[in-house]
Amino acid sequence: MTGLISRYEELVAAGELRPDPEQAAAAKRLGALQGELESDAPASGLFGKLLRKKREMPRGVYMWGGVGRGKSMLMDLFHDTLGIARKRRVHFHAFMIEVHALLREERKKEAGDPVPPVAAAIAAQVRCLAFDEMVVNNSADAMIMSRLFTGLILDQGVTIVTTSNRAPGELYKDGLNREHFLPFIALIERELDVMTLNGPVDYRLERLAGMETWHAPLGDEATAQVREAFFRLTDYPPEDSAHVPSSELDLGGGRKLFVPKSLKGVAVFSFKRLCGEARGAPDYLAIAQTYHTVIIVGIPRMGPENRNDAARFVTLIDALYENKVKLLVTAAASPEELYEEGHGRFEFERTVSRLNEMQSADYLALGHGEA
């Protein structure tokens, strides 16, 4: 048995996962793909490249389903136990930011279509690309994805494994110039095995069962609550909390945002870092598209002297809400009491309404990025 299958069956036997036929089928397919990739280690150099072109490359997998159905968990197991060196797991939004940067550099050379050399450069680094949360919400991505992934899959032989909250045919639905995106959908449905994970159990919500998402007032109890939520969502051992990985989020234009705790699509930020510094909507959109769950600690009461912080907070919550990001906070007060007086107080009422809705079971059940 492959490492993935063994690990998956251990989790089921230990009661950490419930038996789920769709999840088990996806695990079996990913386990088979592991075996194909590990036994298909190609020779290096020109001969290896020619040999790869002559034989059929392992088919990739597209796993889609509602929030909390185990997609990210299976991706973790697949990537962690895949025994090849040239593999990479990356959030889809971050990958597309990199692609656009590579395309800009290629266009400077004025040497024709920039997409094929970008696909070749990516393929030179990886044989298997694993994406978290494929979602397409802008025309810039949609316009190049068909050609880029045709180059990666058909021309370069890269195996793609991805998760998404949407079926392939629902990607970029009603998007601008969607007709240019349709060949990408056809490519996915033709070249990848599409696996549905829409079982009855929402594992992510189940892990938060009985926990509130808004914790006030500030203090040790509130901190302990969001800390417990973080560990429930990420499976990171609480006793090793000092070593939770951090990351840097690419904001574009050479700018990066330090994320103090970043793991499995969950990020922890301080209010001061997000709203006490000069930031705008593009920064908050990058956060909202990258993380399915955001924990903000230390939200204070605000007054007229904090009008800029309050305005940024409004923009931040709009981005999180519109991308259906799950929000957990420690705050000095309830949403209604956060900003009772100051410029923009009237507009803040909408934020109060959204903050209350974001605590509801209906909101929490929505998939990340779901329109």
- pLDDT, tens digit, for every residue of 255-265? 889 999 998 88
203, pLDDT greater than 70? no
Pairing between β-strand 255-259 and β-strand 247-252 as defined by DSSP bridges: antiparallel
DSSP SS3 for 287: helix
Residues 212 and 148 in one domain: no
The answer to whether position 370 is within a domain reads no
Predicted TM-score (pTM) above 0.85? no
DSSP SS3 for 236: coil
DSSP SS3 for 212: coil
Number of alpha carbons in the 13 Å side-chain half-sphere of residue 81: 21
Mean pLDDT of 289-310: 94
Residues 114 and 135 in one domain: yes
> What is the crossing angle of helices 71-81 and 21-39, to 10°?
20
Peptide bond into 260 cis (omega under 30): no
Q: What is the pLDDT of residue 43?
A: 47
Above pLDDT 90, what percent of the chain?
Answer: 54
* 307/305 Cα distance (integer angstroms): 6
pLDDT-derived band at 200 (thresholds 50, 70, 90) equals low
* 323/14 Cα distance (integer angstroms): 34
3-state SS of 312-362? HHHHHHHHHHHCCCEEEEEECCCHHHCECCCCCHHHHHHHHHHHHHCCCHH
Mean pLDDT of 185-203: 84
Residue ranges making up the domain that contains 171? 3-196
Residues 232 and 353 in one domain: yes
More confident of the two residues 317 and 52: 317
Residues 118 and 17 in one domain: yes
The answer to whether position 369 is within a domain reads no
- How is residue 232 written in tokens? 């429930």
Q: Give tens-digit pLDDT for 221-252.
A: 999 999 989 988 887 776 777 788 888 888 87
In DSSP terms, 147 is beta-bridged to: none
Q: Give tens-digit pLDDT for 111-159.
A: 789 999 999 999 999 999 998 778 787 788 888 999 999 999 999 999 9
* 234/244 Cα distance (integer angstroms): 10
More confident of the two residues 251 and 78: 78
Q: What is the pLDDT of residue 148?
A: 96
The beta strands (E) that lie in the chain are given as 60-64, 87-91, 128-132, 159-164, 192-196, 214-215, 247-252, 255-259, 261-263, 266-270, 293-299, 326-331
Residues 128 and 210 in one domain: no
Please say which residue of 167, 196, 225 terminates a domain. Answer: 196
